[in-house]
Structure 1
Amino acid sequence: MTQLDYTVGVGKESTYGTAVAPEQFFESEAKMDLEITTVSAAGLRPGKGVHRTNRNSVVRRAVMGDIDVEITDAGFALLLEAVLGTKTSAAGVDTFTLKTNDPMPSYTIEEVVPFLGGSGQAGQTFAGCVAESITIDVKEGAIVTAKVSWIGKQYATKGSPAAASYPAGDELFTFVGGSITLNSLVVSNVTEFSVTIKNNFDGGGFNLGAAGLRARRPELGKRDITGSLNAELVNATITDWYTSQNALPIVLNLTTSRGGKLDITLPAVRTKGELPKSNGGQVSVQTVSFEAFDNGVAAQPVTIAYKSAGSVADPVIVSATWGDWYLDPGDSYALTTVTGATTVTLERLPKGASTGTWVTITATADGGTPGRYNYPLPGDATNAATYRVRVKATNSVGVSVYSAEVLKTVTP
Structure 2
Amino acid sequence: MAIGSGLGAQVGIAAESSYGTFVAPAKFIEFTKESLQLKKTTAQSAGIAAGRLIPRSSRRVVTQRQGSGSLEMEVTNKAMGVLLQSLMGTTVTPAQQAATAAYLQEHLLVDTAGKSLTIQKGVPLTTGVVTDKTFLGCKVLSAEFSCEVGGMLVVSFEIDAKDCDETQTLAVATYPEMAPFHFGQMAVKTGTYGTETALDGIRKVSLKIERPQATERFYAGQSGLKKEPISNDQVKITGSLEGDYVSTLLDDLHTSDAATSFVWDFTGPLIAATHYQRITFKVPAIRLDDAPPTVEGFDVIKPTMAFTGLDDGTNPVAIEYMSTDITL
Classify the TM-score, shorter chain: 0.7 to 0.9
Return the alpha-carbon distance in structure 2 between the equivalents of residues 124 and 132 of structure 1: 20
Match of 2:105 among 74, 83, 94: 94
Match of 1:197 among 182, 201, 209: 209
The residue type paired with residue 134 of structure 2 is T
Higher relative contact order, chain-length normalized (CA < 8 Å, sep 6+): 2
The aligned residue for residue 383 of structure 1 is none
Between Structure 1 and Structure 2, how many residues are aligned?
307
Cα shift at 1:46: 6.6
Return the alpha-carbon distance in structure 1 between the equivalents of residues 202 and 55 of structure 2: 57
The residue type paired with residue 59 of structure 1 is T
Question: Secondary structure of the equivalent of 1:78?
Answer: helix
Return the alpha-carbon distance in structure 2 between the equivalents of residues 159 and 276 of structure 1: 54
Whether 1:107 aligns to 2:121 is no
Question: Secondary structure of the equivalent of 2:152?
Answer: coil
C-alpha spacing 1:43/1:130, structure 2 compared with 1 (3 Å): same
Match of 2:15 among 9, 12, 15: 12
Return the alpha-carbon distance in structure 1 between the equivalents of residues 327 and 19 of structure 2: 25
Whether 1:164 aligns to 2:164 is no
Whether 1:248 aligns to 2:263 is no
Cα shift at 1:272: 1.1
Are the aligned partners of 2:106 and 2:318 in contact in 1 as well (CA < 8 Å)?
A: yes
C-alpha spacing 1:88/1:227, structure 2 compared with 1 (3 Å): farther
The residue type paired with residue 67 of structure 2 is V
Match of 2:182 among 174, 177, 190: 174
Cα shift at 1:249: 0.9
Return the alpha-carbon distance in structure 2 between the equivalents of residues 58 and 160 of structure 1: 25
Return the alpha-carbon distance in structure 1 between the equivalents of residues 254 and 114 of structure 2: 35
Whether 1:75 aligns to 2:79 is yes
Cα shift at 1:213: 0.9
The residue type paired with residue 250 of structure 1 is F
The aligned residue for residue 161 of structure 2 is 152
Larger radius of gyration: 1
Question: Secondary structure of the equivalent of 1:210?
Answer: coil
Cα shift at 1:212: 1.4
Write out per-residue CA displacement over residues 251-294 of structure 1, whole angstroms, 9 at most, x where no aligned residue: 01101124310011111001111021112111111112211111
Return the alpha-carbon distance in structure 2 between the equivalents of residues 36 and 257 of structure 1: 46
Identical pairs, percent: 28
**Cα RMSD, aligned residues only:** 2.1
The aligned residue for residue 283 of structure 2 is 266
Return the alpha-carbon distance in structure 1 between the equivalents of residues 235 and 327 of structure 2: 34
Cα shift at 1:138: 1.2
C-alpha spacing 1:282/1:306, structure 2 compared with 1 (3 Å): same
Cα shift at 1:52: 4.6
Question: Secondary structure of the equivalent of 2:229?
Answer: coil
The residue type paired with residue 131 of structure 2 is A
Match of 1:24 among 16, 24, 27: 27
The aligned residue for residue 247 of structure 2 is 235
The aligned residue for residue 317 of structure 1 is none
| Structure 1: gaps (5+ residues) | 312-396, 400-412
The aligned residue for residue 65 of structure 1 is 69
Write out per-residue CA displacement over residues 70-106 of structure 1, whole angstroms, 9 at most, x where no aligned residue: 1111111111001101135432210001124x62311
Are the aligned partners of 1:266 and 1:292 in contact in 2 as well (CA < 8 Å)?
A: yes
Matches within 5 A, 1:278-293: 278-293=295-310
TM-score normalized by the length of structure 1: 0.70
The aligned residue for residue 138 of structure 1 is 147
Cα shift at 1:47: 5.6
Which segments of structure 1 move beyond 4 Å, counting only runs of 4 or more?
41-52
